[in-house]
Amino acid sequence: MRPVDLGVIVAYLIFITWFGAQFKESQKSLKDYFLGGRGAPWWAIAFSIVSAETSTLTVIGTPAISFAGNFTFLQLILGYLLGRIVISILFLPQYFRGELFTAYELMQRRFGPHVRKFTAGTFLVLRSLAEGVRVFAVSIVVSIVLGTGELVSIAVIVCLTLFYTFEGGMTAVIWTDVVQMILYVGGALLSFFLLLHLIPGGWPHVLAVAVPAHKFQIFDFRFSLSEAFFHRNYSFWAGLLGGCFLTTASHGTEQLLVQRLLSARNQRESRLALLSSWVVVCFQFALFLVIGVLLYVVYRDAGRPAPADPDRIYPQFIWAHLPAGLAGLVMAAILAAAMSNLSAALNALASTTVMDFLKPLRPGLPERVYLGLARWATVLWGAVLFSVGLSARHWGTVLEAGLTIASILYGALLGVFLLGVLTRRPGEWSAIIGMSAGWAATLVLRPHVAYTWYVLIGSVATFAVGYGASFLIHEAPAPPDSLRHPPVDVPARDSRAKLDQR
């Protein structure tokens, strides 16, 4: 342990915790705590979206992918853009009719309270499991730096992040995300230049080694309906279709990211934040993949075997080879990615718990009571994520484990949202039956297809079975304007002009 590095990391942890806690005084209502008072600029929300979907899985998992393989992971990015366009057209107009706090209030408008709770409950399970993998991922970094066990490593990060999220709510989440995103992207750029400096011959030598090994291959256009095709995670078709469905589900139906879209001042700024976030995501994925290739060249030139755990290669190399102070800065950047994602998850889990479950059970309580419940729900979910993080130690490679868990549940969630937005015939029980079929189809086919297909399979099964069930179950079709009316427990805005003023 080098004192300079440790000092940099400790200084970062103290600063970001203090910075997030400074927003406590602005938290006067649920709108402040869960939506940041709808006062954040679009560019800050864009950075926050990127931070929320990045996490330590990206920082340590993406270099491991290109170290062992190539750039075909980037094919998913094309699907990410397509998914953002779909959300802008289908979902954003619905979310900005009335004042929504969670994505699942939209399901109450269309189907009823049972589907709202069903979809909200799905999110709670999905996010707690997926976030548990991310919590474990950061424990890898902390254990390398501090030499602590996984239990202590997870506890340190969860407790510090919980403190400022508890105090500052969504405003703290957004602005700490901005700071942390700048830090971890800056840390990655620093790693890139330092790694390049360590390679004799620089970039020309990297090309001479990596190009013959096909490390920079991006596209794989092979198409076959064989089992082998569906087992390839990163073919062009899996990336375009799988990435589109994955992003439409994660950014359009999951509270973790929908909450950011709802925090925008109006629909135009929400759309701008969503689409501009893609540019940053594309850049950072490419950057981390290049870092993986540089590490491949370093290991190959030194004649060293690949590590048994590829997820440890990037943080271990930084800690062992970067100069004192700079290693601590890059490690702090990796911790920044973890803390920004964890704070987002805690606030999203708390908002869904309060707005979709607790408040409908006890409507009409004073705002301060709901605000207190929101804070303690944040603490409760901090304890849950700590427990899941300990269990995630045995779930395999962190990046693909996180995406796999999320993809299993995303399909049914996206399918029922599409069923609600695109059709009028299915009712509440048809939607629930469709979601159940979507989960079943994904679980049955899971051993036979790559995880990039899970969301598409689950969405199609949910939509098809839900719509088919509507012909067997006698339910009144939704009126044409069912999605335009706000839920009974959420007041509508007086006018669109008033929305723009805010």
What digits encode the pLDDT tens for the residues 388-420?
A: 888 776 665 555 666 677 778 899 999 999 999
Tell which wins on pLDDT, 171 or 180.
171
Output b/e per residue, 111-134; b: 16+ Cβ within 10 A. bbeebbbbbbebbbebbbbbbbbb
pLDDT of residue 227: 41
Mean pLDDT of 306-317: 79
Q: Is the pLDDT of residue 109 over 50?
A: yes
Q: What is the average per-residue pLDDT within 1-8?
A: 82
Higher pLDDT among residues 50 and 132, named by residue:
50
Res 197 pLDDT > 60: yes
Q: What does the pLDDT read at residue 434?
A: 96
Q: What average pLDDT does the chain have?
A: 85
With both helix axes pointing from N to C terminus, report the angle between 454-469 and 243-252 in degrees, rounded to the nearest 10: 70
Cα 26 to Cα 15, 30, 39, 169: the distances in Å are 19, 11, 11, 9
Residue 468's pLDDT band, with cuts at 50, 70 and 90, is very high
- Determine the Cα–Cα distance for residues 275 and 253; give it in Å rounded to an integer: 16
Per-residue pLDDT tens digits for 260-303: 999 999 999 999 999 999 999 999 999 999 999 999 999 898 88
Does residue 100 register a pLDDT over 80? Answer: yes
Q: Give the span between the Cα atoms of 234 and 71, in whole angstroms.
A: 9
Torsions phi, psi of 209, nearest 5? -90, -45
Q: What is the mean pLDDT of residues 155-177?
A: 89
Report for 9-23, 93-107, 141-155, 264-278: range of highest mean pLDDT: 264-278
Instruction: Judge contact between 181 and 343, C-beta under 8 A.
Output: no
Domains of the chain listed by start with CATH number:
3-23+31-390+400-501 (1.20.1730.10)
> What average pLDDT does the segment 111-127 reach?
92
Q: State the Cα–Cα distance between residues 293 and 299, nearest whole angstrom.
A: 10
**Average pLDDT of the residues in 425-453:** 90
Lowest-pLDDT choice from 37-51, 130-144, 353-367: 130-144
* pLDDT-based confidence at residue 491 (cuts at 50, 70, 90): very low
The pTM assigned to this predicted structure is 0.85
What pLDDT was estimated at residue 400?
Answer: 60
pLDDT cut 70: percent of the chain above it = 89
Per-residue confidence at 150, pLDDT binned at 50, 70, 90?
Answer: confident
pLDDT higher for 452 or 122?
A: 122
> What is the mean pLDDT of the segment spanning 245-273?
93
What's the rounded mean pLDDT across residues 480-484?
A: 65
Q: What is the mean pLDDT of residues 207-236?
A: 74
Residue 303, Cβ neighbours under 10 Å: how many? 6
Q: What is the pLDDT of residue 175?
A: 92
DSSP 482: G
Give Cβ neighbours of residue 400 (< 8 Å, ≥ 6 apart): 61, 233, 451
Q: Tell me, what amino acid is at 303?
A: G
Spatial distance between the Cα atoms of 494 and 303, rounded to a whole number of angstroms: 68
CA-CA distance, 9 to 331, in Å (whole number)?
Answer: 7
How would residue 480 be classed by pLDDT, with cut points 50, 70 and 90?
low
pLDDT of residue 57: 67
Give 56's pLDDT tier (boundaries 50, 70, 90). Answer: low
Q: How sure is the predictor about 228, in pLDDT bands with cuts at 50, 70 and 90?
A: very low
Q: Say how many residues make up the chain.
A: 502
